[in-house]
Amino acid sequence: MHNRKRVIITGASSGIGRATALRFAREGWDVCLVARREPLLRDLRAELAPGQHVIGAGSYDDLATADRIEALIRAEWGSVDALVNCAGMFIGADAIESPLDQWRQAFDLMVNGAVYMTRLAARLMSAGGRIVHVTSIHGERAERMATGYSMAKAAINQYCRGLALELAPRNILVNAIAPGFIDTPMSVVNGVNELESDWFRQNYVEGHHLPLRRAGRPEEVAGVAYFLAGDDATYITGQVITVDGGLTITF
C-alpha cells in the first residue's frame, strides 16, 4: 500500500469532485475526501475502490479546516502527490446594488479555499507533484449576476499561472480545468435544472452555440484531471484546459 499515490480532492461530496474521487481510486490512488458534508463523504468512501482513503470534512475556505487536513495527512500518509481542487459555489448577485458581503461571498470562498488548499498540499509534496484547480469558462466569459463568481474563477486561473512559475524549480506542475455546462447539482438554481430548461434546449441543443449539443458529464472532467495528474502530462504547466463541448469556439 505504501507505493500507492495519494491525492487530495476538494468538493468531493458531489458533482465533478465525486466523479474525480471515484476515478482516482479506481486507478489505484489513495484519496483524501474534502467537503462540508461528512455523511456524504462517508457514503462515498464506502463506494471507492479499496485503499487507504481518509476524510477531511469541513469548509475549505476555513484555514482551520486546512490545518486539520494537513495534520491528518501527515499522520495517515506522510505526504501527498496531487491536489485536485473541485470545490466551488455559485452565488448570484448584482454587481452594483447587492450588499458588498453578498457580492464578495463566492469570490472569497473560492479564492481563499484555493490558496489554503494549495499551500497545505505544496508543503506535503515532493518533486513531481501536481496541482489542478477546476475553475470555469466563466473565468473568461461574462454573465449577468455572476461577476463575483466569474472574478473568482479568473483569479484562480491566474493563480495557477503564477504557481506554475514559482513551483517549477520543485517540478510541481500546476494547471486549471475550465468546464462549461456539466450535469451536476450546481446546474440546479432555485429548484430548476437549467440543463432541462427550454432556454438550454433552444440555445444549446437545438441552437448553434454548443457544437456537441449536450451538457458534459462529471466523469469527462474527472478524466482530464486524472490525465493532468498522471505520467502523460509531464510537460504541461500553467495552462487552462477548456472542457466545454466546443461552447467557447462559437459566436
Would you name the residues annotated as active-site residues? 149
The separation between CA 102 and the C-alpha centre of its own chain, rounded to angstroms, equals 22
- Rounded CA separation 102/162 (Å): 28
- Rounded CA separation 35/13 (Å): 6
Cβ distance 243 to 220 under 8 Å? yes
- Rounded CA separation 70/68 (Å): 5
Cβ distance 184 to 215 under 8 Å? no
**What are 121's three cell numbers?**
498540499
Contacts 24+ apart (CB under 8 A), 48-56: 48/21, 48/22, 49/25, 51/1, 51/4, 51/25, 52/1, 52/4, 52/76, 52/77, 53/25, 54/30, 56/8, 56/32
Q: Show Cβ contacts of residue 83 under 8 Å, excluding neighbours closer than 6 positions.
A: 7, 8, 9, 10, 117, 118, 121, 130, 131, 132
- Rounded CA separation 121/124 (Å): 5
- Rounded CA separation 232/176 (Å): 16
